[in-house]
Amino acid sequence: MKYGIVMFPSKKLQDLANSYRKRYDPHYALIPPHLTLKAAFELSDGEIEEYSEKLKQIAKNHQPVRLTISKVSSFQPVNNTIYFKVEPTLELQELHKNLAETLPHSETEYAFVPHITIGQKLSSDEHSDVYGQLRMLGINHEEVLDRFHLLYQLDNDSWTVYETYHLGKE
């Protein structure tokens, strides 16, 4: 089964992200707005409890993380994903690294650029238009995230939550 690890920001930030995703992100209906800590990876049914236990330990060893967003950015020219750029604090980097070390298939293709996607799979022209507008947005958001979730993917590509892990808690 395919699993992934994400953090959901506050309802307020999810609502804001959705106001763009609705128009610009074909994954809008598949998963709520999120920050990906570990992209899709395969685990067999027999492995899941062992890994879940490891995730619990990792969560315990990290404190809640500050989420700071000050601008809209894009992955161009790599791809045309537009996102809320999340400040890559040491806390987030360490959490990501710890998860990557522990979980399988962690030959990470890209460096970790924490972000919350608000648009993707746009045509080149759409990307220029939309990014041109959104990069002008004044966004200045800060909150603290105290948990992350392990999700699995259904046949229709949507995601269901399997487990919640609390940062810094028993």
Cβ nearer to a copy of itself, comparing 139 with 161: 161
User: Minimum distance between the CB of residue 161 and a copy of itself, rounded to whole angstroms?
Assistant: 4
Cα–Cα distance measured from residue 85 to residue 90, given in angstroms and rounded to the nearest whole number: 15
User: Minimum distance between the CB of residue 92 and a copy of itself, rounded to whole angstroms?
Assistant: 20
Query: 27 burial class (0-12, 13-18, 19+ CB within 10 angstroms)?
Result: middle
Cβ nearer to a copy of itself, comparing 123 with 156: 156
Residues forming the site for a copy of itself (CB under 8 A): 1, 8, 11, 14-15, 18, 22, 28-30, 32, 147, 149, 152, 154-156, 158-164
Cβ nearer to a copy of itself, comparing 8 with 84: 8
Q: Report which of 7, 6, 4, 5 is spatially closest to residue 42, judged by C-alpha positions.
A: 4
Active site residues: 34, 115
CA 110 to chain centre: 14
Which residues, in sequence order, are CB contacts of 124 under 8 Å at separation 6+?
80
User: Minimum distance between the CB of residue 72 and a copy of itself, rounded to whole angstroms?
Assistant: 20
Token representation of residue 33: 């707005």
